[in-house]
Amino acid sequence: MTKYEGKKYYQSEKVAKKYNTQYEGKLSLRNFRIRLIGKFEELKFKGFLKKVPKNGKVLDIACGTGRYTRILLQNKFIVTATDISKEMIEFTKKNSHGLEGLADIKIADAAKLPFKNNSFDGITCIRLYQRVPHSERVLMLKEIKRLSKDWAIVFFGLENSFLRIRNKVRRFFIKGRPSNPYPATREEMLSEIESAGLKFIKGSWVFPGLASGYISLIDCR
């Protein structure tokens, strides 16, 4: 399996705590921008969730601190949550406390998941693929094909000519961790989905034209 920065980065208590305060608890000037983007992203996600059959068994891959695990539980799905980081998973446990329907939480690599074929009705995977190189992403999509009987909702970090220039300018002025280290064009995303044996149903930019986040609804049958 390939090595990439996003696989190790979150396996730290400090990083997990920081990620959690970005989305949970008190609103502050520091977390305002990210919280606002997060809310738009969650709204888009909930829109897609309305299009899939209710009450099924769902696997939330790369659950992180449990932002989407919680939304799935609130929508009455039976949820199994997985992530490669034990530190992030601890927050998923805390953040989903008191909600019914959490079947299991496991440490697992999205490219090799410890479940039998067709174990789930649906799969969600938000904010992982933009941090994963192309070949590994296809392996992860093949795991989705193997495990989901019906649907998947997946977040991709896309790039177009405008975003490519914008990101170059941004990287020149703002140093630090890139937010979309392994971008794909929309065509590349479609070809990755197809090469994993999946079918793209529909998709939507989180902030059309302004940011790289794109959520796809996928047919896994």
Ligand X SMILES: C[S@@+](CC[C@H](N)C(=O)[O-])C[C@H]1O[C@@H](n2cnc3c(N)ncnc32)[C@H](O)[C@@H]1O
List residues binding ligand X (CB under 6 A): 6-7, 10, 62-64, 67-68, 83-85, 88, 109-111, 126-128
- Taking the complex as a whole, the smallest distance from the CB of residue 185 to ligand X amounts, in Å, to 21
Question: 170 vs 131, 167, 185, 192, CA distance in Å?
Answer: 18, 5, 19, 27
Measured between alpha carbons, how far is 49 from 208 in angstroms, rounded to an integer?
20
Shortest distance in whole angstroms from residue 135 CB to ligand X = 13
Q: Tokens in use for 143?
A: 């795991």
Nearest residue to the partner ligand X, using Cβ: 64
Q: How far apart are CA 126 and CA 142, in angstroms?
A: 16
Nearest-angstrom CA–CA distance, 214 and 127: 10
Which residue, 10 or 151, has its beta carbon nearer to ligand X? 10
Nearer Cβ to ligand X (67/220) = 67
Please report how close the Cβ of residue 98 comes to ligand X at its closest, in angstroms.
19
Question: For residues 67 and 145, which CB has a smaller minimum distance to ligand X in the complex?
Answer: 67
Q: Which is nearer to ligand X, 82 or 193 (CB)?
A: 82
- CB 167 → ligand X: shortest distance, Å? 17
| Distance in angstroms between the alpha carbons of the first and the last residue of the chain | 26
